[in-house]
A and B are shown apart, each in its own frame.
Chain A
Amino acid sequence: MNFEFFFNNLPELTITGLAFGAIYALIALGYTMVYGVLQLINFAHSEVFMYGTFAMLWTVMALGGREADGIKLIAIMIAALFAAMLVSALIALVLERVAYRPLIKRDAPRLIALISAIGASFVLAELMGLRDRIAGWLRLDDDLSEYVSGARINNSMAGVIEKPRWDVAGVSISSIDVLVIVAAVGMMVLLDQFVRRSRLGKGIRATAQDPETAALMGVNPTRTIQLTFLIGGLMAGIAAFLYMLKIETTRYDVGFLLGVKAFTAAVLGGIGNLRGALLGGLVLGVAENWGSAIFGTEWRDVIAFVLLVLILLVRPTGLLGESLGKARA
């Protein structure tokens, strides 16, 4: 156990942990909102995120991100952000339409929808993993070889952007970490305000609490469910963009661990609770980073899940513990 390293680097470790946590939190929103409205864990949400990372990567590559700098690079990054949001949102909406709506319409038990979710997750991941072959069938491999080859190895955009570090009072801070934290927390605050104050946000909360009575108020449940998937997808797209800025590589199965961590963050904070997702994400990210500094990085995931179990033993409903419907907002 390396406590000396831990205490000497506490500020840096905390900030990096917060950056990871912010990404978990953005993905966790998708789990928690869909759970709030449908009482369903959308296990395929991890793939919504994964497709976002590829949308980001390919947009940067296709627009010549490697050669660009200055204003042009910023423009490319903005385009990549929108591409990631668009693709993730589309995948989320398709999931809702194909994997869930037919089941919900027939009043299928939630367990069936859960199996459908797991199935959809594998299908989406493997479709990305098999993209060489799919491109081959469509005779696209010549035109797109740069993008479709090597599906099962890491795809990297390393070196596209410089990541200056700032020295603040003797603490070295990564500018990307700061950007990630500010952007993620900013989006969460915006979303929180949307759900609290806007008419559609209230419709989501009403449906989460009591779908039948919400329908009596004129809230269309199908549209509301679509809206939550859309929001979850957009947030996952932003998370994918920030993740690629920070980590720079992705592959077809990148969603799995990130998805599990984000789901953990959602449960940690209180599933169905928006602010819980933020808190859970940040707590998880920091705890992981501190823990891996003390015990070694190979303990990272162990720490995350031991923490989850410990907190749930004490607070079975998570840190904030209310659902989307019941939450004071």
Chain B
Amino acid sequence: MLLEVEGLCVNYGHIEAIRDISFSVPEGTVTTLIGANGAGKTTTLKTISGLRKVRAGAVRFEGKDITSVEPYDRVKLGIGQSPEGRRCFIGMTVRENLEMGAFTRNDRKSAAYREDMERVLTLFPRLRERIDQISGTMSGGEQQMLAIGRALMSRPRLLLLDEPSMGLAPKLIQQIFTIITEINQQGTTVLLVEQNAAQALKRSHEAHILETGEIVRSGKGADLAVDPAVKAAYLGGDV
């Protein structure tokens, strides 16, 4: 298992955001957390990247307990994140944002680094067109591409994607999901958090459904996509 989460409990003050969550992400898969607003999806991701402290439970990456590792050190272990709301560095150019993604790497003059940059710009040709543009002046979809590309620049073994489809036009959503599949096929394990259940389930190997801070269903993405109860609750009836 690349990532294991065991008995995770996280509080915001006295409010329990997530309660006793356990799941794992097998190497090479796309694993998805589905749930409505406030179900605890983002909190779960932030706990995995270290931005939230746990009240109980453990996060293990490649078998090592990383529960108390600081977020900036988890990047070096191979966890990259595209945060909710994209959070591009809006005062910086596209290039500078991508360079920030590679902040922990000390091979920034090497061929491997240039290859990674090339790979990101091939995945997202829009970013190549706008390489010297200030990222704050780009559209939401372009900023989403930049946020994913930036996360890829750290060469993550595990890529955490927090609602990459949020606020995007349907056509763009298709495109982003296609790219996520492509990234996965190139060998990066993906943990995806989504409200857009239809698209996400279709493309994930495994999926877990969160409700009010707890996992209520787990299964293969394809199975959950045709499950009547899931369909009723998350897919708006027939899809």
Contact = CB atoms under 8 A, between A and B. Distances in A.
Answer whether A and B are interacting partners.
Answer: yes
Interface string B135-175: 01000000000000011001000000000000000000000
Task: Sort chain A's interface into a size bin.
Answer: 20 to 34
A217 B152 CA distance: 10
Dominant secondary structure at the B interface: mixed
B40 interface: no
Contacts, number: 74
A47 B238 CA distance: 69
Nearest to B108: A199
B12 interface: no
Contacts of A69: none
Contact of A205 (B49, B72, B89): B89
A326 B90 contact: yes
A218 B72 contact: yes
Contact of A202 (B70, B87, B92): B92
Interface stretch (A19-27, A155-163, A184-192, A208-216): A208-216
B191 to A, nearest CB: 14
Contacts of A257: none
B154 A218 contact: yes
A101 to B, nearest CB: 15
Given A199-B108, A202-B96, A328-B134, A218 B103 contact: yes
A216 B92 contact: no
Contacts of A217: 72, 75, 100-101, 103-104, 150, 154
A205 B108 contact: no
B91 interface: yes
B4 interface: no
A203 B101 CA distance: 10
Interface of A: 199, 202-203, 205-206, 209-210, 212-221, 322, 325-329
14 contacts: A202-B99, A205-B92, A206-B89, A206-B100, A212-B51, A213-B87, A213-B89, A216-B51, A216-B83, A217-B101, A217-B103, A217-B154, A218-B72, A326-B91
Given A216-B72, A217-B154, A325-B91, 7 more contacts: A205-B91, A206-B103, A212-B51, A215-B72, A216-B151, A220-B72, A221-B72
